[in-house]
Amino acid sequence: MKKVVKFGGSSLASAEQFKKVGAIISADESRVYVVPSAPGKRFPEDTKVTDMLLHVYETAKAGEDITEEMKAIKARYDEIITGLALKDFSLDKDFEEITKKLVENPQVDYAASRGEFLNGKIMAAYLGVEFIDAAEVIFFNAEGNLNSYKTEKVLSERLSKAPRAVVPGFYGLGKDGNVKTFSRGGSDVTGSIVAQASQADVYENWTDVSGFLVADPRIVPNPKPIKYITYRELRELSYMGASVLHEDAIFPVRNCGIPINIRNTNVPEDPGTWIVESTCQKQDYVVTGIAGKKDFCTIFISKAMMNSEIGFGRKVLQAFEENEISFEHMPSGIDTMTIVVHEDEFMHKEQRVVSAIHRLAKPDSVEIESGLALIAVVGRGMKSASGTAGKLFSALAKDGINIKMIDQGSSELNIIIGVRNKDFEPAIRAIYDTFIVDKKKN
């Protein structure tokens, strides 16, 4: 059993947090490779070290003195080093070198990446394991994307010689020989790459929450965590606005079937969320997650006998394509069809689209409405549980929520409904209450 453990910024913001991390790692022999983030906020008003470094970069680029700013950053690390009582360890030399580089040739990616680099050094010293600079084992191609082939080759060879190691997250080496950071997903991506290269059994992603939540906590108070979620469900919830792992952080491990376990550093006894390819685990709820987005527009098109007119739908969609607008859904009735699009993409082009529809498809009428919210109710359990739709729509009706659109049938994994923007939060709460709170009735 081999595990890669990635820790987020809040898990490594202070010596106290470092100790929790140390306890987590030493509690399980199989946690062999550690991917740390840069120190995050210690308290709400605190500044993340990465943001401090980005500010240093701006100062250096403006040709101003960075001494004081670098001192403040060093103080953050020294606080951790002192708190951990690390003997014979200092970052003095590293700070000297970083300061020198930033003054001589300020580079934004280099600056941003030093938070992870330095935190990795502390972590390696604290754990007494080898430190592997990500710039030596993770490579980008000329287009700025991960060079998976070279990275996997070099990284897996390097790890095969290091039974235990720390690899700082967030960066690697660019094609031009300079340090380069990941544009999105940050250290999550590094953890995923290390898990893949080391052929780990599990990729543990330690954060400050006990896994993903069934619904947005800003809408539903104290939503339940999700125990098991498939990649597919994750993708659907993420697409519909849930804040979960970025695609780029999932791809490397998904490709080789390594499950991801989202855990809480502050409550390590919580099992967290397992992200898996597929699972037979009994679910507590039929619904895995609820997510949604506001601000869609609908374009309602009617034309007598449209259903039997070959090419009608194609012509309508062409009007959107000509204006470079992607559409979300296209529910159709008898002689009617509705196109659902993002309001911000559509608004400034609406009249051009309407006239294109008239020119291409010659409809009887076209009507536009804004302020639609889409909600996806996602769950692999919905496939087998009959009555999900009935329960869902009864719940919304009970709360007086008018359903503007229903789209189901393309995937047995979700039902997508449209409601007015103002009904968005009440609808999510009603769905949550029905499927999660009133579980007995399920």
Give the nearer residue to a second copy in terms of CB position, either 48 or 329: 329
Q: Rule CB under 8 A: say whether 400 interacts with a second copy.
A: yes
Q: Rule CB under 8 A: say whether 380 interacts with a second copy.
A: no
Residue 298 is assigned to a ligand binding site: no
Check the CA dihedral 45-50-56-62 and report its sign.
negative
Smallest gap, in angstroms, from Cβ of residue 385 to a second copy?
Answer: 9
Residue 207 is assigned to a ligand binding site: yes
Find the binder of a second copy among 21, 24, 155, 240 (CB under 8 A). Answer: 240
Residue 78 is assigned to a ligand binding site: no
* Cβ atoms of residues 233 and 279 within 8 Å: no
Q: Rule CB under 8 A: say whether 144 interacts with a second copy.
A: no
Smallest gap, in angstroms, from Cβ of residue 217 to a second copy?
Answer: 22
Smallest gap, in angstroms, from Cβ of residue 394 to a second copy?
Answer: 3
Give the nearer residue to a second copy in terms of CB position, either 111 or 339: 339
Residues numbered 63 to 82 that lie near a second copy (CB under 8 A) are none
User: What is d(CA 170, CA 189) in angstroms, rounded to the nearest whole number?
Assistant: 7
Give the nearer residue to a second copy in terms of CB position, either 66 or 337: 337
Alpha-helical runs (H) found in 2-147? 15-26, 49-61, 67-83, 92-104, 108-127
- The amino acid occupying position 355 is S
Length of the chain: 442
Residue 131 is assigned to a ligand binding site: no
DSSP per-residue string spanning 345-360? HHGGGHHHHHHHHHHH
Find the binder of a second copy among 98, 376, 427, 436 (CB under 8 A). Answer: 376
Give the nearer residue to a second copy in terms of CB position, either 271 or 313: 313
Smallest gap, in angstroms, from Cβ of residue 243 to a second copy?
Answer: 16
* Cβ atoms of residues 319 and 270 within 8 Å: no
Smallest gap, in angstroms, from Cβ of residue 413 to a second copy?
Answer: 7
Site string for a second copy, 275-314 (x = CB under 8 A): -----------------------x-x------xxxxxxxx
Query: Which H helix or E strand runs over 130?
Result: strand 130-131
Smallest gap, in angstroms, from Cβ of residue 309 to a second copy?
Answer: 7
Residue 101 is assigned to a ligand binding site: no
Q: State the DSSP code for 108.
A: H
C-alpha distances in Å from residue 171, one per residue of 109, 124, 256, 439: 8, 17, 22, 44
* Cβ atoms of residues 13 and 42 within 8 Å: yes
Residues numbered 97 to 126 that lie near a second copy (CB under 8 A) are none
Site string for a second copy, 312-331 (x = CB under 8 A): xxx--xx-xx--xxxxxxxx
Q: Rule CB under 8 A: say whether 406 interacts with a second copy.
A: yes
Residue 116 is assigned to a ligand binding site: yes
Residue 8 is assigned to a ligand binding site: yes
* Cβ atoms of residues 339 and 321 within 8 Å: no
Residue 218 is assigned to a ligand binding site: yes
Give the nearer residue to a second copy in terms of CB position, either 119 or 338: 338
Q: Is 42 helix (H, G, I), strand (E, B) or coil?
A: coil
- Residue 304: Cβ within 10 Å count: 10
User: What is d(CA 109, CA 186) in angstroms, rounded to the nearest whole number?
Assistant: 12
CA nearest neighbour of 165 among 202, 207, 128: 128
User: What is d(CA 320, CA 315) in angstroms, rounded to the nearest whole number?
Assistant: 9
Find the binder of a second copy among 156, 411, 421, 442 (CB under 8 A). Answer: 411
Q: Rule CB under 8 A: say whether 373 interacts with a second copy.
A: no
Q: Rule CB under 8 A: say whether 420 interacts with a second copy.
A: no
- Give the range of 27-35, 123-131, 149-157, 385-393 binding a second copy by CB under 8 A: 385-393
Tokens of 391: 């329960």
* Cβ atoms of residues 5 and 206 within 8 Å: yes
Q: 138-141 contacts: CB < 8 A, separation 24 or more?
A: 138/171, 138/172, 138/173, 138/190, 138/193, 139/172, 139/173, 139/175, 140/172, 140/173, 140/174, 140/175, 140/180, 141/175
Question: Which residues contact a second copy (rule: CB under 8 A)?
Answer: 235-236, 239-240, 298, 300, 307-314, 317-318, 320-321, 324-338, 376, 386-398, 400-411, 413-416, 418
Known binding-site residue numbers: 6-9, 50, 116, 207-208, 218
